Structure 1
């Protein structure tokens, strides 16, 4: 049985209540509380805090809360309730800040690509814009081929410019563009656990053998880095928020635990 400590239990209850509110009582809570890009009409400063208490469904909530139950109690016992809660919140907010930085860079590149297309509105450039900026998009290929065959056609050029502008505008203004979930805070816990209890053996589904916490944290870090850099169509996971939580967890633990012995 899991030894659920008081702060871990309170975080579990809070996250469950927030999801119930999202789904039945206050459906607009998802839009108001998720973390949107700075500059979006849906962005509010409090979202750096509220996004970590919201989830996309029961499966999403279950995976994050299971991690909290596995890694949280030993850390709370070591640090105490107040410091453990502070660590959870710092990692969550820090993950959101780093994610916003990466997202802002991506949006800046998208805007630069839009301006470059307006300067050279050709079929290949039109196709390249969507391949790089919107790898999940489809339906732009016929117009790209038509522009390649008739590059001076003003109707083709106007339609392509409209589609490019709309794609960028919809990215900034979409009510569905927010990030939510406690994963950033959880990845901070994973690092802290692996640092303080590196040789603790953990069972990770679907592997039938135990894995030391330090190897689990390293594997998660490498996987998130690879998936964040090599994005595939349909992947809507905020990998850089996970990495942000790991980084913030590393900084805080090193500061708090400097000179103290780790457990093995």
Structure 2
């Protein structure tokens, strides 16, 4: 591990300050800075950026900052500050966009089930208000429990974390250093970056598609991981290919 670069250092400090600031402010910080579902009254446009600096637990920020520390500096040394920041934030924004898209799909499907069951839009709005203010809601016997969970979870659960941006960094790293041997705990043999990071991506893709949690808590935003990784991979692949085409002999 080489020296930590300035940009990575600033990102680490910013995330850590946000984490302890949120711990001090409590729920108010999450209300203001976490990314809420756009239909939720807590949603604000700046949350698309600020949610990347919020984390739900110590283990959450520890994993993300460890990955940033391990892979970020080497990638920044290769790319330079501006391109590194572009990948970091574009991956974070792409992650939020894809997660919101799939949240909308799940939300609208569940909302339609409620309408088909004869529940009026006004009653659904009252349901949202109740669960936001008290944590309780009316149960409709004609509506499956998993549908209610799908509707309300998307509405009331905010998105936090730098995971999408970190996945963008990991994917870009695998493009730049595909054969770099990496070690993981409890595995005594080195694994090439393209296989380790690619395998981690596939595990997240499996969980995103099936809903089966293999890594992390059950409320992990897997589509955000996928979105960040795709943005990081495509951007880095384009830059690397374009650089090769520009510098090769004619």
* TM-score between both structures, scaled by the size of structure 2: 0.80
- C-alpha separation between the residues in 2 aligned to 1:253 and 1:116? 46
Who is 1:247 aligned against? 230
Aligned pairs, number: 222
Deviation at 1:78, TM superposition (A): 1.2
User: Retained in 2: the 8 A contact 1:188–1:247?
Assistant: yes
Verify: 1:118 aligned to 2:118, yes or no.
Answer: yes
Partners in 2 of 1:66 and 1:166 — Cα distance? 36
Helix, strand or coil: the match of 1:210?
strand
Could you say if the C-alpha distance between residues 107 and 27 of structure 1 is closer, same or farther in structure 2, counting changes exceeding 3 Å?
closer
Deviation, structure 1 residue 172:
5.9
1:191 maps to what in 2?
A: 171
Q: Does 1:160 align with 2:141?
A: yes
CA-to-aligned-CA distance 1:146-166 (integer Å, 9 cap, x gap): xxxxxxxxxxxx952699797
Alignment match of 2:220 (pick from 237, 252, 257): 237
Write out per-residue CA displacement over residues 168-203 of structure 1, whole angstroms, 9 at most, x where no aligned residue.
Answer: 7744653xx101011100111111000010000111
Deviation at 1:222, TM superposition (A): 1.1
Distance 1:166 1:217 in 2: 35
Q: TM-score, normalised by structure 1?
A: 0.76
- CA-CA distance at 1:240 after TM superposition: 0.5
**Please, which of 183, 188, 197 is the counterpart of residue 208 of structure 1?**
188
Equivalence for 2:160:
180
**Aligned partners of 1:35 and 1:47 also within 8 Å:** yes
- Report the CA distance between 1:42 and its aligned residue: 1.5
CA gap of 1:27–1:108, structure 2 versus 1, over 3 A, is closer
Give the aligned partner of residue 122 of structure 1: none
Name the stretch that deviates more: 63-72 or 205-214. 205-214
Matches within 5 A, 1:126-165: 159-160=140-141
Counterparts of residues 1-264 of structure 1 (less than 5 Å): 1-25=1-25, 27-118=27-118, 159-160=140-141, 170-171=152-153, 174=156, 177-232=157-212, 235-261=218-244
Gap change, CA 1:105 and 1:2, over 3 Å in 2: same
Q: What secondary structure does 2:191 align onto? A: strand
Q: Is the 8 A contact 1:38 1:104 kept in 2?
A: no
Q: What value does the CA root-mean-square deviation take over the aligned residues?
A: 2.5
* Contact 2:172 2:237 survives alignment (8 Å): no
